[in-house]
Amino acid sequence: DVKVTQSSRYLVKRTGEKVFLECVQDMDHENMFWYRQDPGLGLRLIYFSYDVKMKEKGDIPEGYSVSREKKERFSLILESASTNQTSMYLCASITSGNADTQYFGPGTRLTVL
């Protein structure tokens, strides 16, 4: 059974803290994604990685960075958390082919106080 796991389901941080969100997939997928999900806005792509150490900005990269040192792990970093980054964060992965299925993790609900 394929699996995408995220390190925390719920996280509460303070403004200005550095925050790490971790995502691990066990399917040997090349491509991994970070989205944020907000009510009335759907999912928006923050960053995308197509290989180890390779990344591309998505639609809303401001205030975020990412790290992919190993194929199975993709980290989202909030260098200095702000209240407007309170959101649900979803990680996903897929192999290279377009015909494959994108698998999502359960999400991390981050609250920044």
Partner 1 sequence: AQSVTQPDIHITVSEGASLELRCNYSYGATPYLFWYVQSPGQGLQLLLKYFSGDTLVQGIKGFEAEFKRSQSSFNLRKPSVHWSDAAEYFCAVGRSGGYQKVTFGTGTKLQVIP
The footprint of partner 1 (CB under 8 A) covers: 4, 9, 31, 33, 40-45, 48, 50, 56, 58, 90, 92, 94, 98-99, 101-102, 104-107
Contacts of 43 (CB under 8 A, 6+ apart): 35, 36, 37, 90
Phi-psi region of 42 (alpha: psi -120 to 50; beta: other; left: phi over 0): left
Q: Tell me which residue of 20, 32, 6, 12 sits closest to 93, measured CA to CA.
A: 32
Measured from the CB atom, the residue of 33 and 64 that comes closer to partner 1 is 33
- Residue 43 CB, nearest approach to partner 1 (Å): 4
Measured from the CB atom, the residue of 69 and 99 that comes closer to partner 1 is 99
- Residue 36 CB, nearest approach to partner 1 (Å): 11
Measured from the CB atom, the residue of 20 and 50 that comes closer to partner 1 is 50
